[in-house]
């Protein structure tokens, strides 16, 4: 509900100045978000955050070979009963259809809770998901994925290029690699969004850019750096979730072993007397203000900082191009050349002598920068490294670095595919799970 009213807010303002309110209203309805709890029969249920969910039956092109079911077990790690406790199970290819604005990028989000539904064990849920010719998920096993990541549920989120026809068709197809497979989904969200991407420089290939405006992307990571988890309800209109960055910090940097302590930088927060506001260049839909109000810096000791990198490491799928979006807002310094730093992506220099105050134009002003990097398909190419290091080149006042938020997006390949392999659970987890072993054997 909240995100809908946020999206409508500028239109409502517009209507104060426009005599043509009817046109404004019809634009508003074009931007309708679809927030769907699959398999539910209760219209308008709210989750524990107060978001309202509709039922899925009116969106199904056909409900043949599908059924609805309820989870027998509520995993306490779930954020809410709605929309996870109900499910749509599909034993043959099944499509959902959405009427969408033909010129808007679409945020498409799925949630999967692998558990037992009535008597159906979700471990046979292995399937593909496509949308208007794009492959979003290929041979996807929510069960294996959740086991490998030790998560109770899986979120998959995509930003899809505008659908010219105005009809988005999301199709679930059970895998043919096993018998008795089916597809299942607990929630589906389709949210029209502004274009937030432009051609981006490919690091390490001078002058080469990636055409992301014509591409669809999968959200891999979305972090509020140095800050707290930001739930969907607190996002600035797109119901995105922003996670804590600390699990991705590389603890044992060179500086860490040198000083014999883990180098994690420090979490910092905007002081009350610094106002942080969205701007024309960084409007509300880019990120909520809470992302910019907290950050991670290297800390107050320049001797430690110059011998250290502030490094995060992310597991990604090899053989894809990634766009890494850095969100910055310096709420401590007021002038250029006070804090300057280098930005590394996969050990390559993406930016030399980054100066947030100079980029943004002052204290408390958000700014973001995108860089693209290609992951090859060799050993170790499934780890994406992000590093910051103080830049001394311009003799800044402080030897330090800062980062407020980080998003990592996978770009579809030339064949319009975004599907990667399922993550492999550790040997220990596998040993304990014969079902997982047989699934992996079939998927190979
Ligand atoms: C949706 O897409 C699938 C896969 O391309 C196709 O088989 C199906 O006919 C389409 N459904 C509708 C209702 O357009
Ligand atoms: C996107 O593709 C269209 C043709 O499909 C092309 O005209 C346009 O230049 C492309 N956009 C970019 C940013 O390359
Ligand atoms: C470094 O830390 C380890 C364990 O945290 C400790 O065993 C070791 O003695 C420390 N070394 C120095 C030189 O302080
Ligand atoms: C905010 O207050 C602190 C002291 O409480 C002061 O040092 C700082 O200069 C102030 N910042 C601004 C932008 O006014
Ligand atoms: C980056 O450097 C680290 C440390 O030298 C290395 O372990 C890692 O594999 C490198 N990563 C990439 C993507 O090259
Ligand atoms: C920081 O990272 C860069 C790029 O990976 C590397 O060249 C450099 O040696 C690292 N510095 C430290 C102090 O770890
Ligand atoms: C890597 O992706 C490209 C498509 O972008 C594909 O043609 C190629 O076969 C892939 N390579 C491997 C080793 O999977
Ligand atoms: C993504 O897929 C579209 C077709 O669906 C294609 O036009 C575009 O070039 C692809 N993007 C990249 C970076 O290969």
Pocket test for ligand 1, best of 171, 173, 183 (most atoms within 8 A of CB): 171
Q: Could you give the CA distance from residue 210 to residue 267 in angstroms, rounded to a whole number?
A: 33
Kindly give the distance from the C-alpha atom of residue 347 to the centroid of ligand 5, in angstroms, as a whole number: 6
347 lines ligand 5 (CB under 6 A): yes
Closest by CA position to 217, among listed 61, 418, 81, 428: 418
Q: Could you give the CA distance from residue 330 to residue 333 in angstroms, rounded to a whole number?
A: 6
Strands in 48-186 per DSSP E: 52-55, 66-70, 86-90, 94-99, 105-112, 116-117, 120-121, 127-131, 134-140, 154-160, 167-174, 183-185
- Which residues are 125's β-sheet partners? 182
Cβ burial of 291 (10 Å; 0-12, 13-18, 19+) is buried
- The pLDDT value recorded for residue 21 is 32
Q: What residue owns the CA closest to ligand 2's atom 7?
A: 214
Q: What residue owns the CA closest to ligand 6's atom 1?
A: 309
Kindly write down the DSSP assignment for every residue of 406-439, as one continuous string.
EEEEEEP-TTSB---PPPPPPHHHHHT-HHHHHH
Cβ burial of 407 (10 Å; 0-12, 13-18, 19+) is buried
Q: How far apart are the first and last CA of the chain?
A: 42
Residues with CB under 6 A from ligand 1: 61, 95, 97, 130, 169, 171
pLDDT at 227 over 50: yes
How would residue 427 be classed by pLDDT, with cut points 50, 70 and 90?
confident
347 lines ligand 6 (CB under 6 A): yes
Pocket test for ligand 5, best of 314, 346, 347, 379 (most atoms within 8 A of CB): 347
Kindly give the distance from the C-alpha atom of residue 274 to the centroid of ligand 4, in angstroms, as a whole number: 8
pLDDT at 428 over 90: no
Q: What residue owns the CA closest to ligand 7's atom 9?
A: 319
Q: For residue 22, is it left (φ>0), alpha (ψ between -120 and 50) or beta?
A: alpha
Kindly give the distance from the C-alpha atom of residue 96 to the centroid of ligand 1, in angstroms, as a whole number: 9
CB 241 within 8 A of CB 232: yes
Return the ligand number nearest the Cα of 197.
2
- The pLDDT value recorded for residue 330 is 98
Kindly give the distance from the C-alpha atom of residue 319 to the centroid of ligand 7, in angstroms, as a whole number: 6
Return the ligand number nearest the Cα of 259.
3
Q: Which domains does the chain have, with CATH numbers?
A: 29-193+417-443 (2.60.120.430), 200-411 (2.60.120.430)
Residue 210 CA to its chain's centroid (Å): 19
pLDDT at 440 over 80: no
pLDDT digits (tens, 9 = 90+) for 330-379: 999 999 999 999 999 999 999 999 999 999 999 999 999 999 999 998 87
Pocket test for ligand 1, best of 64, 95, 172 (most atoms within 8 A of CB): 95
Q: Could you give the CA distance from residue 25 to residue 22 in angstroms, rounded to a whole number?
A: 5
- The pLDDT value recorded for residue 215 is 97
Q: Ligand 5, closest atom to CA 375?
A: 13
- The pLDDT value recorded for residue 284 is 96
- The pLDDT value recorded for residue 377 is 86
Q: Ligand 4, closest atom to CA 274?
A: 13
167 lines ligand 6 (CB under 6 A): no
Kindly give the distance from the C-alpha atom of residue 214 to the centroid of ligand 2, in angstroms, as a whole number: 6
pLDDT at 435 over 60: yes
pLDDT at 70 over 80: yes
How would residue 322 be classed by pLDDT, with cut points 50, 70 and 90?
very high
Tell whether omega for the bond before 264 is within 30 degrees of 0, i.e. cis.
no
How would residue 10 be classed by pLDDT, with cut points 50, 70 and 90?
very low
Highest mean pLDDT among 19-33, 36-50, 243-257: 36-50
Residues with CB under 6 A from ligand 8: 134, 210-211, 214-215, 411-414, 416
């Amino acid at each position: 509900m909240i995100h809908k009213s946020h999206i409508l807010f500028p239109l409502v303002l517009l209507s104060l100045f426009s005599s043509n309110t009817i046109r404004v209203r019809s634009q508003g309805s074009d931007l309708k978000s679809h927030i769907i709890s699959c398999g539910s029969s209760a219209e308008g249920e709210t989750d524990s955050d107060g978001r309202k969910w509709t039922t899925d039956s009116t969106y199904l092109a056909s409900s043949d070979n599908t059924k609805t079911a309820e989870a027998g077990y509520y995993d306490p790690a779930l954020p809410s009963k709605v929309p996870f406790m109900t499910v749509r199970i599909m034993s043959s290819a099944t499509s959902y259809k959405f009427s969408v604005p033909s010129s808007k990028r679409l945020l498409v989000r799925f949630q999967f809770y692998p558990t037992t539904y009535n008597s159906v064990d979700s471990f046979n849920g292995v399937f593909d998901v496509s949308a208007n010719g794009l492959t979003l998920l290929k041979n996807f096993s929510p069960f294996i994925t959740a086991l490998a990541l030790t998560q109770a549920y899986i979120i998959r989120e995509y930003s899809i290029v505008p659908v010219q026809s105005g009809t988005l068709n999301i199709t679930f197809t059970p895998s043919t690699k096993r018998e008795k497979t089916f597809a299942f989904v607990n929630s589906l969200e389709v949210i029209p969004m502004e274009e937030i991407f432009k051609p981006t420089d490919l690091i390490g290939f001078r002058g080469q850019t990636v055409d992301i405006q014509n591409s669809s992307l999968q959200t891999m990571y979305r972090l509020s750096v140095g800050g707290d988890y930001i739930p969907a309800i607190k996002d600035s209109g797109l119901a995105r979730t922003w996670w804590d960055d600390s699990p991705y910090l590389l603890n044992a940097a060179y500086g860490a072993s040198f000083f014999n302590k883990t180098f994690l930088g420090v979490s910092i927060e905007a002081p009350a007397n610094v106002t942080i506001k969205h701007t024309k260049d960084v409007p509300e839909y880019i990120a909520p203000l809470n992302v910019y109000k907290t950050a991670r810096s290297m800390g107050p000791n320049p001797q430690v900082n110059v011998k250290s990198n502030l490094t995060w490491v992310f597991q990604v799928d090899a053989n894809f191009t990634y766009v890494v979006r850095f969100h910055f807002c310096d709420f401590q310094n007021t002038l250029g050349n006070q804090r300057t730093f280098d930005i590394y992506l996969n050990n390559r220099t993406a930016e030399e002598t980054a100066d947030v105050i100079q980029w943004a134009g002052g204290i408390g002003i958000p700014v973001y920068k995108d860089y693209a990097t290609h992951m090859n398909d060799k050993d170790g190419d499934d780890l994406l490294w992000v590093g910051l290091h103080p830049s001394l080149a311009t003799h800044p006042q402080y030897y330090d670095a800062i980062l407020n938020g980080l998003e990592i997006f996978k770009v579809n390949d030339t064949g319009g595919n975004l599907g990667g392999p399922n993550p492999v659970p550790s040997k220990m987890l596998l040993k304990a799970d014969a079902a997982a072993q047989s699934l992996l054997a079939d998927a190979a």
